[in-house]
């Protein structure tokens, strides 16, 4: 306790030098929390949107379906099993039929995936009700990205072409009844949604589906023969991997920033041990052991991180609160590779702040301790004479 | 401590290695200092005064021979035990004052008491007393940079005696002071020696200090050349010169 008191007294006595170090370290501290909070928020936002719009509580994939291989689509359809039909009737599942096709907006051909979904479903947050509230023979729902790339608007007619179950080409004119604004590009880009019953009829795949998405609150999906259940962990793994990849760059940047702050602490400690040789000798003469002197110097260095945490919180807390509440516009939009929306809402949890504080304290203590090892080899008589180190 | 012997050295040898050269700083020094002495190790630079003082202060260990300080054998003391001995029973005064620069005069004097774990009230009382002994009660809040050389050394003396040590080691305490300040400092130390019964051992070649000594141990090339007790009249007459 005495050593801690002395370390605090020394820090106080060092005045402006202490505060300069604490300010530099607080920048790193705030930047690390901001970066981690941004990544956590990004991850959560992207996952929440994907779950809400696409994955729900998981998906049954027809055994031939491979999301990464479009060529499997031709065979990836089968009658919806009765267990899943029951779930769908109870509003706890949404069968989706996926058929490869093309549309011809403004005379251009564009390959798309035609996706049939029950307009009355509530399992995912797609605005499928728009497909029901219309007298159109073939109502179409597209996302804002597809609308932008095809130039289609609500009310536009567009020719839709597909191959039916027998491999024969067929086509109809459909009308865009809704353009959905979504942050989830994987339900938007190159996709055209239509009523499930209509697509089944056009493709000659009565009662069939490719995917069955179950509701988010469906805890124990039944095992179904010929269909594989893919849980949220599996479905979100790509997204998480992508976020992790983005995180690496951020971590490198923050590590560099942190190292610079650590360099300042290290430098201060080296200088301190050198400049305070006589003082070290005097401390030993007054009755301190070398270990006590080392602990005191290390504590002095490490206490910078506590000051930095307090300082960082003083200006960081209002900033974090505001960002978490109001979010901020993210430049780049879809270039991130996953759904973010117009604004990013970082997540600053108590765990994040606490773990960062502990990490910064431990690293600072280690960096502060490194130069003090010289004290262990310093003879008090040399130190008192201003020699050594 | 037998017969009030505070320090006893027996055939003390201290060698240093400077590159390939062996330097013998102390050559079989045998001495005794008793409680309440006001003694000085006198000699030119390089005679071994500071080396001997460092060994007595447990800051250094002999190459051979033995040194017993307050009943403890210096050569076999563990670092922790040596630190404890210094912290409780030995006070140091140095030529360059060695005040802790970021502390006030009060905090500098308080420092040894903090290491002893005394209560805040007890510390306050003892620090106030010590600053009054050296006549610096009004400079308690000053930092070392705001003090003159004489004042700094008086703070160093207060720091050395605040814990009422049995032994005070003063290494060239007046070397950086003018004549007037030197006399003030020495008079302060004579007073403390008389009032508190503290043993003072100086290392010096300053005539001003030598005049106040009651025992003079002359060192030449690491050996005791002369060990003489000065008679009261002799001390007084020296001071009057």
Distance CA B103, CA B114 (A): 13
Map tokens 């004549």 to a residue. Answer: B179
Whether A281 contacts chain B with CB within 8 A = yes
Q: Is the dihedral of CA A47, A51, A57, A61 positive or negative?
A: negative
Alpha helices in A122-167 (DSSP H): 129-132, 144-150
- What three-state secondary structure class fits A229? strand
Give B215→chain A minimum CA distance, Å: 25
CB-CB under 8 Å, B114 with A292 = no
Cα pseudo-dihedral B63, B68, B71, B76, rounded to 10: 0
d(CA A209, CA B72): 93
| Region for B189 from its dihedrals, namely left if φ exceeds 0, alpha if ψ lies in -120 to 50, beta otherwise | alpha
Contact A286 B111 (CB under 8 A): yes
> Three-state DSSP class for B10?
strand
B59 vs A9, A285, A288: nearest CB: A285
* Residue A49: predicted pLDDT: 86
- CA of B86, closest CA in chain A: separation in Å? 5
Q: What is the pLDDT of residues A48-104, one digit of tens each?
A: 888 999 999 999 999 999 888 888 888 899 999 998 999 899 899 999 999 999 999
Q: Are B59 and A384 in contact (CB < 8 Å)?
A: yes
pLDDT at B240: 42
Supply the pLDDT for residue A190. 92
Cβ neighbour number for residue A320 with a 10 Å cutoff = 21
| pLDDT score at A338 | 59
Contact A201, A155 (CB under 8 A): no
Q: Residue A54 has what DSSP assignment?
A: I
Inter-chain CB proximity A284 and B98 less than 8 Å = no
The residue count of chain A comes to 389
Compute the distance between CA of residue B42 and CA of residue A252 in angstroms, rounded to an integer: 64
In the three-class reduction of DSSP (H, G, I as helix; E, B as strand; rest coil), residue A85 is classed as helix
3-state SS, residue A42: helix
Look at residue A334 in the predicted model and tell me its pLDDT: 59
- Rounded to an integer, the average pLDDT of A302-311 is 89
Looking only at Cα atoms, what is the longest distance across chain B?
54
- The C-alpha atoms of residue A248 and residue B57 are separated, in whole angstroms, by 57
- The answer to whether residue A4 neighbours chain B at the CB level (below 8 Å) is no
Please identify which residue in the block is written with the tokens 């305490």.
B173
C-alpha span between A184 and A340 (Å, rounded): 8
Q: What is the mean pLDDT of residues A159-187?
A: 89
Q: Where are the alpha helices (DSSP H) in A204-236?
A: 232-235
**N residues, chain B:** 241
The residue-averaged pLDDT of B189-215 equals: 88
What residue spans define the domains of chain B?
2-100+168-240
Contacts of A257 (CB under 8 A, 6+ apart): A27, A28, A31, A32
Q: How far is CA A379 from the centre of its chain?
A: 54
**At A294, is the secondary structure helix, strand, or coil?**
helix
Residue B4: CB atoms within 10 Å: 12
Q: Tell me the β-bridge partners of A61.
A: A211, A228
Q: For residue A217, what pLDDT band results from cuts at 50, 70 and 90?
A: confident
Q: On the CB side of A385, how many CA atoms lie within 13 Å of its CA? A: 10
Give the mean model confidence (pLDDT) for residues B216-240: 76
Average pLDDT over residues B7-36: 91
Kindly determine whether residue B100 and residue A289, on different chains, have CB atoms separated by under 8 Å: no
Binary contact (A12, B79; C-beta < 8 A): no
B201, β-bridge pairs: B39, B169
Architecture of the structural domain at B2-100+168-240: 3-Layer(aba) Sandwich (3.40)
Q: With CB atoms and an 8 Å threshold, state whether B87 touches A286.
A: yes
Residue A163 burial by CB count (10 A; 0-12/13-18/19+): exposed, middle or buried?
middle
Task: For an interface test with B, give the residue of A286, A297, A378 to mutate (most B CBs within 10 A).
Answer: A286
Q: Please say whether the beta carbons of A346 and A324 come within 8 A.
A: yes
Q: What is the pLDDT of residue B144?
A: 92
- For the segment A127-148, what is each residue's pLDDT rounded down to a tens digit? 999 998 777 789 999 999 999 9
């Amino acid at each position: 306790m005495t050593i801690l008191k002395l370390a605090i007294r020394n820090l106080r006595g060092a005045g402006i030098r202490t505060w300069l170090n604490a300010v530099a370290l607080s920048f790193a501290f705030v930047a690390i929390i901001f970066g981690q909070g941004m990544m956590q928020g990004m991850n959560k936002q992207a996952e929440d949107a994907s779950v809400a719009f696409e994955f729900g509580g998981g998906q049954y994939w027809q055994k031939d379906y491979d999301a990464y291989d479009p060529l499997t689509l031709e065979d990836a359809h089968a009658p919806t099993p009765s267990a899943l039909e029951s779930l769908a009737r109870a509003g706890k599942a949404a069968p989706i039929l996926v058929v490869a096709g093309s549309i011809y907006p403004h005379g251009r051909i564009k390959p798309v995936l035609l996706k049939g979904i029950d307009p009355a479903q509530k399992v995912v947050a797609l605005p499928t009700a728009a497909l029901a509230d219309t007298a159109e023979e073939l109502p179409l729902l597209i996302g804002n990205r597809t609308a932008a790339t095809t130039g289609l608007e609500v009310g536009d007619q567009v020719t839709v072409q597909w191959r039916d179950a027998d491999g024969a080409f067929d086509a109809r004119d459909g009308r865009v009844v809704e353009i959905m604004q979504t942050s989830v590009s994987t339900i938007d880009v190159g996709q055209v949604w239509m009523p499930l019953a209509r697509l089944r009829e056009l493709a000659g795949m009565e009662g069939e589906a490719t995917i069955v998405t179950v509701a988010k609150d469906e805890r124990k999906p039944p095992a179904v023969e010929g269909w594989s259940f893919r849980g949220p962990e599996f479905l979100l793994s790509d997204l998480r991997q992508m976020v992790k990849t983005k995180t690496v760059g951020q971590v490198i940047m923050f590590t560099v920033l942190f190292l610079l702050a650590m360099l300042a602490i290290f430098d201060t400690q080296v200088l301190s041990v050198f400049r305070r040789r006589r003082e070290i000798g005097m401390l030993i003469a007054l009755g301190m052991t070398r270990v006590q002197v080392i602990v005191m110097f290390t504590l002095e260095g490490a206490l910078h991180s506590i000051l930095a945490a307090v300082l960082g919180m003083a200006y960081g807390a209002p900033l974090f609160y505001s960002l978490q509440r109001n979010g901020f516009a993210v430049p780049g939009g879809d270039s991130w590779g996953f759904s973010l929306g117009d604004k990013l809402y970082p997540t600053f949890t108590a765990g994040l702040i606490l773990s960062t504080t502990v990490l910064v304290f431990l690293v600072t203590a280690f960096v502060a301790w490194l130069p003090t090892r010289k004290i262990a080899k310093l003879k008090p008589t040399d130190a008192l004479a201003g020699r050594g180190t | 401590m037998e017969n009030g012997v505070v320090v006893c050295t027996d055939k003390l040898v201290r060698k240093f290695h400077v590159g390939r050269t062996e330097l013998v700083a102390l050559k079989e020094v045998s001495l005794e200092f008793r409680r309440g002495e006001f003694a000085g190790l006198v000699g030119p630079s390089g005679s071994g005064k500071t080396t001997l003082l460092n060994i007595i202060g447990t800051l250094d260990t002999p190459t051979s021979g033995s040194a017993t300080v307050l009943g403890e054998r210096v050569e076999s003391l563990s670092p922790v035990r040596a630190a404890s001995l210094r912290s409780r029973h030995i006070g140091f005064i140095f030529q360059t004052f060695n005040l802790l620069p970021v502390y006030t005069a009060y905090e500098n004097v308080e420092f040894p008491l903090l290491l002893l774990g005394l209560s805040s009230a007890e510390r306050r009382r003892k620090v106030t007393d010590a600053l009054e002994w050296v006549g610096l009660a009004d400079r308690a809040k000053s930092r070392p940079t705001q003090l003159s050389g004489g004042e700094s050394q008086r703070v160093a003396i207060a720091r050395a005696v605040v814990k009422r040590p049995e032994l005070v080691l003063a290494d060239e305490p007046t070397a950086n002071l003018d004549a007037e300040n030197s006399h003030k400092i020495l008079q302060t130390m004579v007073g403390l020696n008389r009032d508190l019964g503290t043993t003072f051992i100086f290392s010096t070649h300053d005539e001003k200090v030598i005049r106040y000594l009651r025992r003079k141990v002359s060192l030449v090339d690491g050996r005791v050349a002369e060990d003489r007790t000065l008679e009261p009249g002799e001390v007084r007459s020296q001071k009057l010169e």
